[in-house]
Amino acid sequence: MENGNSTLEQLQARFGADTFTPQTTKDEVLTLWMPHDKIKEVLTFLKKEISQPFLLLYDLTAIDERTRKPENGHIPYAFTIIYHLFSFDRNSFIRLKVGYRDEFPTVPSISSLWANANWYEREVYDMFGIRFEGHPHLYRILMPRTWVGHPLRKEHPARATEMGPFALYDDKVDLEQAALQFKPEEWGLQRQSDDSDFMFLNIGPQHPGTHGVLRIVLQLDGEDIVDAIPDIGFHHRGQEKMAERQSWHTYLPYTDRVDYLGGTMNNLAYLMAVEKLAGIQVPDRVKVIRVMLCELFRIASHLVWYGTFAQDVGQLSPVFYMFTDREKIFDIVEAVTGGRMHPNWFRIGGVAQDLPKGWETLVQNFINYFPKRLKEYDGMVMKNSLFKARTKGIGIFTLDEAIEWGVTGPNLRACGFEWDFRKKQPYSGYEMFDFDVPTAANGDCYDRAVVRVAEMRQSLRIIDQCLKNMPSGPYKSDHPLTTPPIKKHTMHDIETLITHFLGVSWGPVMPVGEAMSCIEATKGANGYYITSDGNTSPYRLRIRTPSFPHMQMLPYITKGYTVADLLSILGAMDYVLADIDR
Amino acid sequence: MKWWLSKPDDPVKATSGTSSYEETVQQSVLLTTVQDLVAWGRKNSMWPFHFGLSCCFVEMATSMTPKYDVARFGAEVIRGTPREADVMIIAGTVFIKMAPIIKRLHEQMMEPRWVISMGSCANSGGMFDIYSVVQGVDKFLPVDVYVPGCPPRPDAFMEGLMLLAESVGKERRPLSWTIGEQCVIRPEKIDVKERRQEARSKMTEFRSPDEV
């Protein structure tokens, strides 16, 4: 952001002045179109040669541009590949775009440049049918192998009800099961070493230790993991395609279900992007209400992780205590929003309604109650010698490895890097709050737990500040695109009445443009990259979730450990399947 | 089958009555058919399969924790293998990629087995009318109870479980050859909406959402 111009100058100095075509976007991220033949060179330069390099491949996705409105000044490409890079030194993003005119383009793979590009490219292939030249395993990742078509292409049907009734005949079951058959040769895995035969152990998609429908195939030498191949996509709900037919307003409940433990945190990530697009500044009260709800959900999400992690490594009782505390949070959430896990309570330009009378007492009671419990859990879990034995020195990755693989959030901070988007790129008024960013040093499973436990205390500090300094004022911003529209603006004349009616029935029309958000969600950096064609629904909506790259790293960090350690590693990673597959 | 429990520390109350011969026999002898006894046993120990698909599973898991405590209804014994489970709870979205696996897991369960469809996605696809989602698990599995909600609260899930238990207790499964129909005789499905209609229509005063 700050160094946008200097980055462009450096790029132009290296590649020539007319190589890049800048584009203005609503989020003020430096956006450059680049030619096909320079993709690898430019990305290598940005990662390895430039001063203050862009070390993190934040996201890689594509857009099917074939149905764009021509009047919006859009270059008539058929497909665009979009690379989002992030530089920690510069604290800024860069967005690089490459346009293709072919129906089924082929793009050079950058999987040798960034370790985490592998899955992103597989996803683009699966969703768009775009091939990546030089990719080692370009197979479908989210859809079943037997799938015909590529769902995010505009010609692919969106609704299940458009695709004819579903029937599961016996031979179809056999066919699908055969497609799920694991073939080690496909992944370049040996069946035996010089002195032993490897065993291939299939864990999931239905297994209590995988926290959801995740499948991992392990290559085992005795009890030791030689390699692991995660198979995801069993939880793919087509959230990105869904956005293309929902209005800006009615997409909100879908965001709740992306990281389903994060509740309103997802609403916030989505709204940060939408409000940038609309140019809405929300009142202070809205900011603080949102922060309070999100931090409550951060604690709730961490509590689920805490309990299930302890259970994964053999402690059966903590989960019962922690779920009880989570219920206390849900009591507050329920009083405020009326919902529990999926409150669907934030709105474009505000929140659904004002805080109810008496919310202070509820929040205060929780603030009084919770620290004692956390202390008790320290004794019960964190200081437990068996817990330590199962988690210390397990699943270690260094800071460099973490960045190479796109790790964000508590998992990154456990490597000793104090990076929190709430501090570094404050959004929704986080700059007004006083809190620390906990870190740990070793980057093992235990340290990931240390960071999360400390984060719960910091979240509680933030909630306390929300309680003490809740600003007065409106709970919706006074902007024409606020949804639902503010009633007082209507009933003046036919024009205001119609505007209100359209805003309620069709929903708002967002101006043409694109914007991306990046927030510190419960599990890491969560962002929505939205392209608007000036319509009542997004032209394309991309959800960058933290769990996707985390899961991709699994094979790398499990090698050499035992099967029992795998469960510690999975538990410490804190992922949600809906956050991986969307 | 009539039965009751007497409390060990309260022997007087338990034997209140005329102390007649009939009454004494009633207190110590149980007369029933094997079929009824088995149905009673099944009804009071519904062991769920440890199976979850998405968000709903978190609420299902919450029902096992102290605030809700599904153990009160004999359903806290979560089985990790389908072969030991009585009831499969389809807690979450039924994905097309997952459907063959769900079907196989269901086939691996021993008879008698039941299915609860938990949440809107499993009931009908719910809000996810999208290419990768099966529009209701009943497209390929027989469902005994549907629990609405997105996700249903743990209380709602437990009510569904109770409904199933109620119907399991009334189910007639011949243990051997019988005269007449050989199949399982299931009670009529209960429509909770209808059952509650009257009570609900009397609810006219609601708490304001502006207060806690």
Tell me the pairing of strands A92-100 and A79-87.
Answer: antiparallel
Extract the tokens encoding A108: 């050079």
Instruction: Give, as one character, the DSSP assignment of residue A27.
Output: T
User: Which of A320, A326, A335 shows the shortest C-beta gap to B212?
Assistant: A335
Query: pLDDT-derived band of residue B16, with 50, 70 and 90 as boundaries?
Result: low
Instruction: List chain B residues with CB under 8 Å of A161.
Output: 129, 135
Mutation target to probe the A interface, by most A beta carbons within 10 A, among B131, B140, B141, B210 is B131
Q: Sketch out chain B's domains with CATH numbers.
A: 42-202 (3.40.50.12280)
Nearest in space to B48 (alpha carbons), one of B34, B38, B68, B63: B63
Answer yes or no: are the C-beta atoms of A270 and A290 closer than 8 Å.
no
Q: Which chain B residue shows the shortest CA-CA distance from A211?
A: B52
Q: How far apart are CA B102 and CA A459, in angstroms?
A: 39
Q: How far apart are CA A229 and CA A218, in angstroms?
A: 6
Residue B150 to residue A356, Cβ atoms within 8 A: no
Show binding-site residues of B for [4Fe-4S] cluster: 55-56, 121, 150
Q: What is the crossing angle of helices A359-377 and A318-337, to 10°?
A: 170
Q: What is the pLDDT of residue B17?
A: 63
Tell me the pairing of strands A199-203 and A215-221.
Answer: antiparallel
Residue A160 to residue B98, Cβ atoms within 8 A: no
The CA distance from A208 to the nearest CA of chain B, in Å, is 7
Q: Which chain B residue shows the shortest CA-CA distance from A233?
A: B97
User: Which of B96, B132, B209 shows the shortest C-beta gap to A356?
Assistant: B209
User: Which of B62, B100, B130 shows the shortest C-beta gap to A238?
Assistant: B130
Mutation target to probe the B interface, by most B beta carbons within 10 A, among A153, A162, A213 is A213
3-state DSSP of A247-278: CCCCCHHHHHCCCCCCCHHHHHHHHHHHHHHH
Query: pLDDT-derived band of residue A188, with 50, 70 and 90 as boundaries?
Result: confident
Residue A327 to residue B62, Cβ atoms within 8 A: yes
Q: Give the residue carrying structure tokens 């952001």.
A: A1
Contacts of A477 (CB under 8 A, 6+ apart): A280, A281, A282, A283, A286, A349, A350
Phi then psi dihedrals of residue A46, to 5 deg: -70, -30
Residue A229, strand partner residues:
A217
User: Which of A173, A205, A261 shows the shortest C-beta gap to B103?
Assistant: A173
Extract the tokens encoding A370: 């919770």
Residue A177 to residue B150, Cβ atoms within 8 A: no
pLDDT at A514 over 80: yes
Q: What is the pLDDT of residue B175?
A: 75
Peptide bond into B82 cis (omega under 30): no
The Cα angle at residue A560 between residues A559 and A566, in degrees rounded to 5: 65
User: Which of B55, B98, B209 shows the shortest C-beta gap to A338?
Assistant: B209
Q: Which chain B residue shows the shortest CA-CA distance from A161?
A: B129
Query: What is Dmax (Cα atoms) for chain A?
Result: 86
Mean residue pLDDT of chain A comes to 90
* A412-437 pLDDT, tens digit each: 999 989 999 999 999 998 999 999 99
Q: What is the pLDDT of residue B153?
A: 92
Residue A260 to residue B140, Cβ atoms within 8 A: no
Question: The dihedral of CA A86, A447, A554, A268: what is its sign?
Answer: negative
Residue A160 to residue B130, Cβ atoms within 8 A: yes
Residues in B whose CB is inside 8 Å of some CB of A read 50-55, 57-59, 61-62, 65-67, 80, 93, 95-101, 103-105, 125, 127-135, 139-140, 150-151, 153, 209-212
How far from A121 is each of A63, A240, A546, B202, CA to CA, in Å?
Answer: 13, 16, 16, 58
Q: Give the residue carrying structure tokens 């959900």.
A: A297
Instruction: List chain B residues with CB under 8 Å of A244.
Output: none
* A446-467 pLDDT, tens digit each: 999 999 999 999 999 999 999 9
pLDDT at A366 over 70: yes
User: Which of B51, B100, B150 shows the shortest C-beta gap to A173?
Assistant: B100
End-to-end, the C-alpha distance of chain A in Å comes to 29
Answer yes or no: are the C-beta atoms of A273 and A528 closer than 8 Å.
yes
Q: What is the pLDDT of residue A68?
A: 86
Residue B58 to residue A304, Cβ atoms within 8 A: yes
Q: How far apart are CA A65 and CA A79, in angstroms?
A: 5
DSSP secondary structure letters along A153-166: STTS---GGGS---
Q: Give the residue carrying structure tokens 């070793």.
A: A442
Query: What is Dmax (Cα atoms) for chain B?
Result: 70
Residue B139 to residue A168, Cβ atoms within 8 A: yes
Instruction: Give, as one character, the DSSP assignment of residue A476.
Output: B
* B169-196 pLDDT, tens digit each: 888 887 777 777 778 888 888 888 888 8
Q: How far apart are CA A96 and CA B65, in angstroms?
A: 48
Q: Which chain B residue shows the shortest CA-CA distance from A261?
A: B55
Calculate mean pLDDT across residues B11-40: 74
Instruction: List chain B residues with CB under 8 Å of A160.
Output: 125, 129-135
How far from A449 is each of A437, B114, B123, CA to CA, in Å?
Answer: 14, 39, 37
Query: pLDDT-derived band of residue A217, with 50, 70 and 90 as boundaries?
Result: very high
* A135-165 pLDDT, tens digit each: 998 999 999 989 999 999 999 999 988 888 8
User: Which of B100, B127, B153 shows the shortest C-beta gap to A168?
Assistant: B100
- The torsion region of residue A468 among left (phi > 0), alpha (psi -120 to 50) and beta comes to alpha
Residue A208 to residue B80, Cβ atoms within 8 A: yes
* A301-318 pLDDT, tens digit each: 999 999 999 998 888 899
Q: Sketch out chain A's domains with CATH numbers.
A: 2-157 (3.30.460.80), 239-581 (1.10.645.10)
Residue A213 to residue B98, Cβ atoms within 8 A: yes
pLDDT at B3 over 70: no
Nearest in space to A306 (alpha carbons), one of A412, A445, A449, A444: A449
The CA distance from B102 to the nearest CA of chain A, in Å, is 9
Buried b (16+ CB within 10 A) or exposed e, B117-141: bbbbbbbbbbbbbbbbbbbbbbbbb
Residue A578 to residue B54, Cβ atoms within 8 A: yes
Q: How far apart are CA A482 and CA A499, in angstroms?
A: 12
pLDDT at B5 over 80: no
Residue B151 to residue A342, Cβ atoms within 8 A: yes
Mutation target to probe the B interface, by most B beta carbons within 10 A, among A146, A176, A182 is A176
Instruction: List chain B residues with CB under 8 Å of A362.
Output: 212
Q: What is the pLDDT of residue A236?
A: 92
DSSP secondary structure letters along A143-154: S-TT--S-TTST
Show binding-site residues of B: 55-56, 121, 150
Q: What is the pLDDT of residue A3?
A: 52
Calculate mean pLDDT across residues B162-174: 87
pLDDT at A550 over 90: yes
- The torsion region of residue A235 among left (phi > 0), alpha (psi -120 to 50) and beta comes to alpha
Contacts of A98 (CB under 8 A, 6+ apart): A33, A34, A35, A36, A39, A80, A81, A83, A107
Q: How far apart are CA B94 and CA A490, in angstroms?
A: 43
Q: What is the pLDDT of residue B73?
A: 86
* H or E stretch covering B34: helix B34-44
Residue A327 to residue B135, Cβ atoms within 8 A: no
Q: What is the pLDDT of residue A1?
A: 46
The CA distance from A354 to the nearest CA of chain B, in Å, is 8
Calculate mean pLDDT across residues B111-128: 91
Instruction: List chain B residues with CB under 8 Å of A373.
Output: none
* A324-349 pLDDT, tens digit each: 999 999 999 999 998 899 999 999 98
pLDDT at B104 over 60: yes
Q: How far apart are CA A304 and CA A302, in angstroms?
A: 5
User: Which of A180, A236, A342 shows the shortest C-beta gap to B132?
Assistant: A236
Residue A205 to residue B129, Cβ atoms within 8 A: no
3-state DSSP of A309-334: HHHHCCCCCHHHHHHHHHHHHHHHHH
Nearest in space to A422 (alpha carbons), one of A552, A272, A315, A550: A272
Calculate mean pLDDT across residues A253-269: 92
Tell me the pairing of strands A30-33 and A21-23.
Answer: antiparallel
Q: How far apart are CA A414 and CA A572, in angstroms?
A: 11
Calculate mean pLDDT across residues A515-542: 92
Q: Cβ of A85: how many Cβ atoms within 10 Å?
A: 22
The gap from C-alpha A527 to its chain's centroid, in whole angstroms, comes to 6
Residue B65, CB-side half-sphere exposure with 13 Å CA sphere = 24
- The torsion region of residue B77 among left (phi > 0), alpha (psi -120 to 50) and beta comes to beta
Q: What is the pLDDT of residue B169?
A: 87
Calculate mean pLDDT across residues A530-537: 90
Instruction: List chain A residues with CB under 8 Å of B101.
Output: 180, 205-206, 234
Answer yes or no: are the C-beta atoms of A316 and A578 closer than 8 Å.
no
Residue A205 to residue B101, Cβ atoms within 8 A: yes
Q: Which chain A residue shows the shortest CA-CA distance from B62?
A: A323
Instruction: List chain B residues with CB under 8 Å of A358.
Output: 211-212
